[in-house]
Structure 1
Amino acid sequence: MKHPILTAAVLALGVAALAGPAEAKGCLKGAVVGGAAGSMAGHGKAGAAAGCVIGHHEANKKDKAGGQNAQPAPAK
């Protein structure tokens, strides 16, 4: 494959388009980074897929941590 980074980016955009905006949070960025790292090892597509999963997981983890730091509503 002559353009592994381009392939990873196209794959990431396709995954993001199919998953929908609520489920793709963190996936696109993770897929691009994972695809670039994976292409250096000869596994660009696998890297993009793993990056998408990790990016999505990290985004969800940040959302949950943000919700826990919020102050509770005052009692009436």
Structure 2
Amino acid sequence: MRKYLVAASMLALIAASPLAQAKGCLKGAAVGGVAGHVAGKHGGVGAAAGCAIGHHSAKKKEEAQQAQQTQQQPQQQQPTQQAAPAPANKS
């Protein structure tokens, strides 16, 4: 009975995960859940920790990509030459 309850809980979490919009959480939770289960039947704790770590890693990766894009933008733009101002008329 417990296996069915755990399986139903996992399916519910997987089905609800796109609503959460937590990048990296699902992958980290899967890995953490398996690791926690193997390490001593602590799958829930492992899944929670894996979710947190996966989300943190995904956030760092996204920030690195944004930083790289901002560095590439100035290199792609051509420097514009400004025209010299017209001399002032002294009358």
TM-score, normalization: structure 1? 0.72
Aligned length: 72
SS of aligned partner of 2:27: helix
Task: Please say if 1:49 is aligned against 2:42.
Answer: no
Query: Matched residues, percent identical?
Result: 46
Contact 1:28 1:52 (8 Å CA) reproduced: yes
Unaligned ranges ≥5, structure 1: none
Q: CA deviation at 1:67?
A: 1.0
Measure the CA separation in 1 of the matches of 2:55 and 2:68.
Answer: 21
Contact 1:39 1:47 (8 Å CA) reproduced: yes
Q: Describe the shift of the 1:7–1:50 C-alpha distance in structure 2 as closer, same or farther (beyond 3 A).
A: farther
Unaligned ranges ≥5, structure 2: 81-91
Task: Please say if 1:39 is aligned against 2:40.
Answer: no
Which structure is larger by alpha-carbon Rg, 1 or 2?
2
Q: CA deviation at 1:45?
A: 0.3
TM-score, normalization: structure 2? 0.61
* 1:13-62, Cα deviation, whole Å (9 max, x unpaired): 266256x22xx100000000000000012210000000000000000010
* Aligned residue identity for 2:29: A
The corresponding residue for 1:69 is 68
RMSD (Å) for aligned C-alpha atoms: 2.7
